[in-house]
Amino acid sequence: MEFTLVITLALAVLVGVSLGLLGGGGSILTVPILTYVLGMPPKEAIAASLFVVGTTAVVSVISHARAGRVAWRTGIIFGLAGMTGAFIGGLLGGYIPGAILMLLFAAMMVATAVAMIRGRKKSGGEGAERGHLPILRILLDGFAVGLVTGLVGAGGGFLIVPALVLLGGLPMALAVGTSLLIIAMKSFAGLGGYLLTVQLDWPVVLGVTAAAIVGSFIGARLVGIVPEKALRQGFGWFVLAMGAFILFQEVPPIIQSMM
């Protein structure tokens, strides 16, 4: 148990680096770590992941805010709209087979990755640079992203950052910081629901959270060092790899069931 806990804490640092540097990748990394490395039951791992990711996102937001990389108005409005969309998406997801949801999630990740790797022809106007986007556009983007993330059950940061960059026109560094604010709002909303039925091993959860927070400081520092184009393309390739992995896991069983 001690060895697996040490491995878990080391991997949790990478979760924090991902959140601090990319503004996403938290839940999709934390849940497998807690489930397959530490041996937590799935529901407990999901609930713990929400606390780890939400708390790490809050701490990382502070680092980004000090550097002027958080569009507060956009983030709060986007986050509120996203929470509404996520609730509706969660209701719809209950009527769709899990394998289909994972295929939709993987396809969405691949499309998002390609868009991020190719980039935008324009980086947005002056208003976008400062995070002053039209309220209606923020609400629609936030609701749409929340709907999809609620439907597939994960990938908040994977969708939020591209939405802020590709649809909202925010620079990558500003989108990363703003994404963390939105992730924190959605994570704690989800955690509140899980805590009604799930008991957590809080000493372990707090230890994993502390390790992730350390990683978030490292990631936040790298944002100001890594060039924006390299950061955006690196994010895209990472999402593409995860999408391909999900397809590799889900497609063969579906093919076999049809034969």
Average pLDDT, the chain: 79
Look at residue 210 in the predicted model and tell me its pLDDT: 95
Fill in the DSSP letter of residue 39: -
Three-state DSSP at 195 gives: coil
Rounded CA-CA distance 21/173 in Å is 9
**What pLDDT band is residue 111 in, cutting at 50, 70 and 90?**
confident
**How far are the Cα atoms of 21, 47, 81, 181, 194 from residue 161, in angstroms, in the given order?**
11, 23, 15, 11, 25
Rounded CA-CA distance 27/77 in Å is 22
Rounded CA-CA distance 149/151 in Å is 5
Lowest mean per-residue pLDDT among 116-120, 183-187, 209-213? 116-120
**pTM reported for the whole predicted model:** 0.72
Give the tens place of pLDDT for each residue, 201-243: 999 999 999 999 998 888 878 876 777 677 778 777 877 887 7
- Are the C-beta atoms of residues 70 and 23 closer than 8 Å to each other? no
